[in-house]
Structure 1
């Protein structure tokens, strides 16, 4: 099996996680930083990482309102998924409701300082998105 990349796309950052080759465990990889709403710059960085990691499949967090509606942030993720697909990347949009909140709680429980949390929160949210997908697929623990 091939590795899968998980993405948590924000307005200035994109947290990135990667699975193991067996698609069982997600781990944090990096955070891409870009100018506010410059998704083309983000895309170029993500494509480099996909090439370096030899990955062709991405799970992209899809922000939804608690009632399930898709707002502005959700539409941005949908548009970004289309940009990836134009480059031959297979994209699965995945409900990311509360993943950042959950990641923040895990980091607080782990006694991670506020300064360090700010640096890695996007990666941890990407891990939550990807691990949720892997578990749903049946590969995760």
Structure 2
């Protein structure tokens, strides 16, 4: 796996999409679960996908699951939620996210995969707030929260890079 800056990941995606339609996978990494969301083929809209169980002894299985998703969904990269604090420094939770990515890298199964980090500030809390009136069973609520937190992470990234791309196009046309 190779880290890329957020804008660079999207630029590579645009280049790759001139040949084929590639998507991005959003990850909300928690202590017990990893919520997944996938972009549409135009990389404009994020949709919930699933939740993977996270244990210290199943990282190889998770890497295999990611390999399968990469081939099934034509994934070009991962957008990984990273909880920054107010000064944009890494928090204790961010260390857990980094360790998870490092463990995935060590499996050797995701060599060509590019990824970037995206601020996940309040994504889970926003989803919790929306679900509270539904009075769902705690287990059901947790999986929905993880999936939709991943949607929030990926959609935030997509909105930012698409807006930046649109601004660049506008600047180019006005020159």
TM-score w.r.t. the length of structure 1 is 0.82
- Asked if structure 1 preserves the Cα contact closer than 8 Å seen for 2:35 and 2:143, the reply is no
Aligned-pair Cα RMSD in Å: 2.4
Residue 18 to residue 112, structure 1, CA distance change in 2 (3 Å): farther
- Asked if structure 2 preserves the Cα contact closer than 8 Å seen for 1:11 and 1:37, the reply is no
Residue 95 to residue 37, structure 1, CA distance change in 2 (3 Å): farther
Q: Which runs of 5+ in 2 are unaligned?
A: 1-16, 164-175
The counterpart of 2:44, out of the listed 24, 31, 39, is: 24
**Larger Rg over CA atoms:** 2
The counterpart of 1:113, out of the listed 136, 146, 162, is: 136
Aligned residues: 138
Partner of 2:63: 43
TM-score w.r.t. the length of structure 2 is 0.68
Give the superposition deviation at 1:73: 2.2
- Asked if structure 2 preserves the Cα contact closer than 8 Å seen for 1:17 and 1:29, the reply is yes
Higher helix share: 2
Q: Which runs of 5+ in 1 are unaligned?
A: none
The answer to whether structure 1 residue 103 and structure 2 residue 123 are counterparts is no
